[in-house]
Structure 1
Amino acid sequence: MHSLSLKIIFKSIKICHCFILIFFFVFMFSSYILIAQKNKSVLQTVPIWKRIDLELKSSKVYNNEFLDVAVDATFIHESGLRIDIPGFWNGDNIWVVRFSPNKMGKWTYKISSNDETNSGLMKSGELLAVANEGSTELDRRGFIRISDNLRMFTYNDGHPFFWLGDTHWQAPDFERIEECNFPSCNGQCGNSQFKHLVNNRISKGFNVYQMYPDAAESDGGGNLRRYNWWDNRQKLLDTPDSIRINPVAFRKNFDIMMEYLANHGLTIALGLGVHQSTANAMDERSLMHWARYLVARYAAFPIVWITAQEVNASPKIEPYEKWKKVANLIDELDGFNRPLSMHTDRDYPGKHPSFLEIKDLRWHKFWAMQGGHLKDNSAENQGQEYYMKYWNAKPRKPYIETEANYEQLYWPHPISADKVRETAWRAIQSGSYGYTYGASGIWAMNWEANDGRGWENWSKLSWYEALDLPGSFQMKHLKDFYLSLDFHQLIPRFNDSAYGRDIDYNKHFLSSYDNKLYIIYSVKGEPLTGYLKNLRAYSRYTAQWYNPRTGSYHKAAKTLIYPDSQGLHSLPTKPDSNDWVYVLKFNEKLF
């Protein structure tokens, strides 16, 4: 009996131990799950190619928040990739580090300042970059970069990017985000002139918004400022050690524009000011503080840097030297390594600094070139020799025609859509894998015509009168044409005797992809004559005409072409005296 009782007791103890062990393991497992969930919730997520603002609250008060303290951050991806970027003062006692991951996975970061006693400006943590579910090409393919062959731009995934830009100089100063005076505006723009402009340009295929803020508030053609960048711009030149930025102008204006552009798939070609107008009105130290602030605030966006408009416009060297130092600083501070250039003035004999002096700058990665407008050497700057100089230059760099013949610009007579269209086609057929368009009333903002504001000597239309000029539609035809033909395979042939004979190459602009695809743009009023060469003898090619004014294809008199034994093809007569594009395709699948 006693033995039986002991057995029962021992059995009960074993059962109790089992329950205790089970409870212990359940408790430990539950605790692990809770801790894991807690850690997971702490790890902040951000979609790749989107922006995240890491906010810091200063534990100290400074006399001048803009100058007295500098915040810097380091982000390291799990692969080892490192991105360094400065932070910026955002008003009151708030600083921000703005980051955009370019790789999925875990990022660790560390933020510090040059004031080691300010614990509020120190922060470390982790971010998890996740898939981007946005619908734009920038969301799906990533921000643009320079192609591996150094000839053009591609998205980050390597897919070719056809640059179609629109000019909005000083948009952050004068384009209005809270009112719209378009006569028949239906409210779809949210009563925002800026959004009305952007939406119109997107509908026409534009994917680059080319702009700069008027840094010194010294330009603008008499336009009324919406915000001031500085609390006192008079200090910019004489007392640069006491200048102070106005963060409200950025939060309520510039940031809103940048977000809208980025979220709608546009790349921003961003300058920091304009030629000597900015450089002469700012001490070099003021300009460098401005550059650091804009890099900190906007490098995380889909941008390419153009430094400033017409950095070498002045006959004096000092403004250019200032802008060169600004570009050096951009290169030093921008850990994302966005493409960097300088928008240049027309390049002509005697120009200083010239093409030869700029091409070897270490940080200069592409040419934001200017062919000019009607007079002032523009004819020479839009001919084949001009572009050939850039194509053959070493080191090799992409070049984009970023300012030439704005539509309805009075220079001294209004520039027609015919001239605008011709300029764009000439540039692209000459190796500029993209183009920036400009329209009177928009490149220099005119709220209303004849109101005495907005550079009306040259830009006489209101923005809404300029919104749908013929050239803006024809830019879409141009882009659609090249995208349909794998434009990135085309090579400008200039005066290459291997591909053409007896062709006036400054009136008829030839490009080709080997001997499989030939494109020739023939200007208005000039008969097309000569021969295409290096075609496949006796092979079958298909010939068509493309109308660059309407975006439509037309049958050639002979639609099937069989080159002779020497691979020659005599160019046909154009349908009429207008400009036309002749397209000759090898009849098998091209690629």
Structure 2
Amino acid sequence: MRIVFSTLYFVFILVSSSFSQNSLPRIKVSDNQRFLVKEDGKPFFWMADTAWELFHRCDDEEIDYYLNKRAEQGFNVIQAVALAEIDGLNSPNAYGETPLFENDPTQPNPRYFDYIAKVLNKAAAKDMYVALLPTWGDKVFKKGWGVGPEVFNVDNAEVFGRWMGQRFKDFTNLIWVIGGDRNPRENSTDVELWRAMAKGIASGTGGIENTLMTFHPQPSAPGGSSNWFHNDEWLDFNMHQTGHCPTQATYKKINHDYNLAPIKPTIDGEPLYEDHPNCFKPEELGHSIPEDIRRIMYWNVFAGAFGQSYGCHAVWQMFTAEREGINLPLRPWKVALDLPMATQVQHLKNLMLSRPYLTRVPDQLMVVDTQVDDESYVIATRDQEGSYAMIYIPTGKEVTLNTSILKSKTLKCSWYDPRTGAWFDAGIVSSSPSFTYTAPSTGGKGHDWVMVLDAM
């Protein structure tokens, strides 16, 4: 069978060169190691949608429908998996193809990966990047959920990674994400296995300088991918999964990785999904609401994340009435594409790119008030050069700030509505070490606002 695989592989590499590719500027880490930028140095704010089952469950028409909608909503990254979670090895894709011959990672099915290449081109044509997970973690170990089968070991993980790297090396809109919702187990070879897959990918692309790569964990502490791989050369940026409970102080996890050495960018790659059962307890806690998701996203970015991933519970699994849903999805995926936060995420991206981006730093010293880690936690970010500051106020309360760090004694004050992206002029104020502001509306959760202070 290894001879058969080698022949298929050789033929496939020749054929693959015939695929036309829509080139986008490659994404790289910024010079200050805090953000992602395009090749020309322009800021890239990661605004991702989670579509784990996209390659596995969608046909051409559905792919077009999905990408058109997400492009209209301002998304620029799609997170999807090659060897998918929902019986991804034995349940074929929309065209009857499974990814591996005999479930052997050293024998990939070229036709299955042809379709992934086609989707990558479709995404590139809409100026969208794909954060590609080579495999979901249940193919390494199931650990109570997922159907597997467990097919990877250290040796074949490197072989599969090298094949994947070679197959997709020419796609400029590709970001590599290994791990697939699994934390390495103690007293196992898991860390070595994921390192082997990363090594294989880098080898297949012609070198680590040709990859942008991270690791997608389960919820963990104190960091995310940094817990195991922070010092690995292949890990270009850290990724968290902060999970599906609305009460997480997610800014603490971002802050942890932000302060590590060496400096690497960090992001929450899987926060609370829209329409997801809160803490997986729908009967007791209901499903998530936009107010909680929005708060988590602003917390993360203001704490130092270089962007933000979004997810919808029906969309990640491409749920339809004909399919058995996982954890009680509330509506079909095409309907769920228009849920409120899918539109509101772009307001966060637009806000952050409206001011100098690559000199932005978190700064909690601006918040004078004593705070507790609850849903009212106020968080601040500012320009390192002192030209602006942004303060996110989750509950519309009164807040006292130290604005003396800004470079002007006179500041233009504006309010930004994270629900609509609308701006409201709040006049001219004087810089002060202790100045009290009150948001345009009060009333607890849902009355969140961003104060923007610009030096004049």
TM-score range, shorter chain: 0.7 to 0.9
How far did 1:89 drift? 3.9
| CA–CA distance in structure 2, aligned partners of residues 287 and 537 of structure 1 | 52
**Structure 2 residue identity aligned to 1:573:** T
Higher relative contact order (CA 8 A, sep 6+): 2
Is this contact kept in 2: 1:100–1:300, CA < 8 A?
no
Q: Secondary structure at the match of 1:583?
A: strand
Is this contact kept in 1: 2:244–2:271, CA < 8 A?
yes
Is this contact kept in 1: 2:89–2:99, CA < 8 A?
no
**Structure 2 residue identity aligned to 1:343:** H
Q: Which has the larger radius of gyration?
A: 1
Is this contact kept in 2: 1:170–1:220, CA < 8 A?
no
Is this contact kept in 2: 1:169–1:212, CA < 8 A?
yes
Q: Which residue of 2 aligns with 1:209?
A: 78
Is this contact kept in 2: 1:542–1:561, CA < 8 A?
yes
**Structure 2 residue identity aligned to 1:203:** E
Q: Which residue of 2 aligns with 1:19?
A: none
Q: Secondary structure at the match of 1:441?
A: helix
In the alignment, structure 1 residue 390 sits paired with structure 2 residue 260:
no
Q: Deviations over 1:125-176 (max 9, x none)?
A: xxxxxxxxx8xxx64xx21111111101000011111111111113111122
| CA–CA distance in structure 2, aligned partners of residues 548 and 220 of structure 1 | 41
Q: Which residue of 2 aligns with 1:275?
A: 137
Is this contact kept in 2: 1:209–1:267, CA < 8 A?
yes
- With the length of structure 2 as denominator, give the TM-score of the two structures: 0.85
Q: Deviations over 1:326-385 (max 9, x none)?
A: 112222332262211111221226x9x97343211222111122111107xx614x03x3
Output aligned runs, 1:323-362, within 5 Å. 323-335=194-206, 337-348=210-221, 355-362=226-233
Q: Secondary structure at the match of 2:116?
A: helix
Change (3 A) 1:536 1:166: closer
Change (3 A) 1:95 1:535: closer
Change (3 A) 1:357 1:537: closer
Is this contact kept in 2: 1:532–1:571, CA < 8 A?
no
Q: Which residue of 1 aligns with 2:369?
A: 502
| CA–CA distance in structure 2, aligned partners of residues 528 and 474 of structure 1 | 24
Change (3 A) 1:391 1:244: closer
In the alignment, structure 1 residue 540 sits paired with structure 2 residue 405:
no
1:406 to 273, 283, 300: 273
How far did 1:415 drift? 0.9
Change (3 A) 1:304 1:523: same
Change (3 A) 1:379 1:315: farther
**Structure 2 residue identity aligned to 1:561:** V
Q: Secondary structure at the match of 1:488?
A: coil
Q: Secondary structure at the match of 2:101?
A: coil
Is this contact kept in 2: 1:99–1:300, CA < 8 A?
no
1:519 to 364, 385, 390: 390
Q: Which runs of 5+ in 2 are unaligned?
A: 142-148
In the alignment, structure 1 residue 528 sits paired with structure 2 residue 390:
no
**Structure 2 residue identity aligned to 1:551:** G
| CA–CA distance in structure 1, aligned partners of residues 350 and 262 of structure 2 | 31
Q: Which residue of 2 aligns with 1:254?
A: 116
Change (3 A) 1:220 1:561: farther
Is this contact kept in 2: 1:223–1:454, CA < 8 A?
no
**Structure 1 residue identity aligned to 2:440:** P
Q: Secondary structure at the match of 1:341?
A: strand
How far did 1:99 drift? 10
Change (3 A) 1:356 1:362: same
**Structure 2 residue identity aligned to 1:391:** Y
Q: Secondary structure at the match of 1:90?
A: helix
Is this contact kept in 1: 2:139–2:152, CA < 8 A?
no
Change (3 A) 1:222 1:521: farther
Q: Which residue of 2 aligns with 1:463?
A: 333
Q: Deviations over 1:390-437 (max 9, x none)?
A: 111011100121100010011323111111111111111011121110
2:66 to 194, 197, 202: 197
How far did 1:272 drift? 0.7
In the alignment, structure 1 residue 477 sits paired with structure 2 residue 347:
yes
How far did 1:317 drift? 3.5
Change (3 A) 1:469 1:537: closer
Change (3 A) 1:515 1:574: same
| CA–CA distance in structure 2, aligned partners of residues 309 and 160 of structure 1 | 27
Output aligned runs, 1:101-500, within 5 Å. 139=24, 142-177=25-60, 192-214=61-83, 218-219=87-88, 226=95, 227-233=97-103, 236=104, 244-251=107-114, 253-279=115-141, 281-284=150-153, 285-301=155-171, 302-312=173-183, 317-335=188-206, 337-348=210-221, 355-374=226-245, 379-380=248-249, 382-383=250-251, 385-410=252-277, 411-412=280-281, 413-446=286-319, 448-449=320-321, 451-455=322-326, 457-494=327-364, 496=365, 499-500=366-367
**Structure 2 residue identity aligned to 1:67:** S
Q: Which residue of 2 aligns with 1:568?
A: 433
Change (3 A) 1:219 1:250: closer
| CA–CA distance in structure 2, aligned partners of residues 206 and 95 of structure 1 | 31
How far did 1:257 drift? 0.6
Q: Which residue of 1 aligns with 2:6?
A: 67
| CA–CA distance in structure 2, aligned partners of residues 571 and 159 of structure 1 | 36
| CA–CA distance in structure 2, aligned partners of residues 263 and 361 of structure 1 | 33
| CA–CA distance in structure 2, aligned partners of residues 221 and 491 of structure 1 | 47
- With the length of structure 1 as denominator, give the TM-score of the two structures: 0.67
Q: Secondary structure at the match of 1:487?
A: coil
| CA–CA distance in structure 1, aligned partners of residues 386 and 372 of structure 2 | 18
Change (3 A) 1:260 1:434: same
| CA–CA distance in structure 2, aligned partners of residues 429 and 147 of structure 1 | 18
Change (3 A) 1:221 1:215: closer
How far did 1:95 drift? 5.2
Output aligned runs, 1:547-558, within 5 Å. 547-556=417-426
Q: Which residue of 2 aligns with 1:90?
A: 12
Is this contact kept in 2: 1:530–1:571, CA < 8 A?
yes
Q: Deviations over 1:98-134 (max 9, x none)?
A: 8999xxxxxxxxxxxxxxxxxxxxxxxxxxxxxxxx8
Is this contact kept in 2: 1:441–1:463, CA < 8 A?
yes
Sequence identity (%): 23
How far did 1:568 drift? 2.3
| CA–CA distance in structure 2, aligned partners of residues 403 and 249 of structure 1 | 26
Q: Which runs of 5+ in 1 are unaligned?
A: 1-61, 71-87, 102-133, 178-191
| CA–CA distance in structure 2, aligned partners of residues 347 and 486 of structure 1 | 32
| CA–CA distance in structure 2, aligned partners of residues 229 and 379 of structure 1 | 36
Change (3 A) 1:582 1:159: same
| CA–CA distance in structure 2, aligned partners of residues 224 and 538 of structure 1 | 59
Q: Which moved more, 1:329-338 or 1:408-417?
A: 329-338
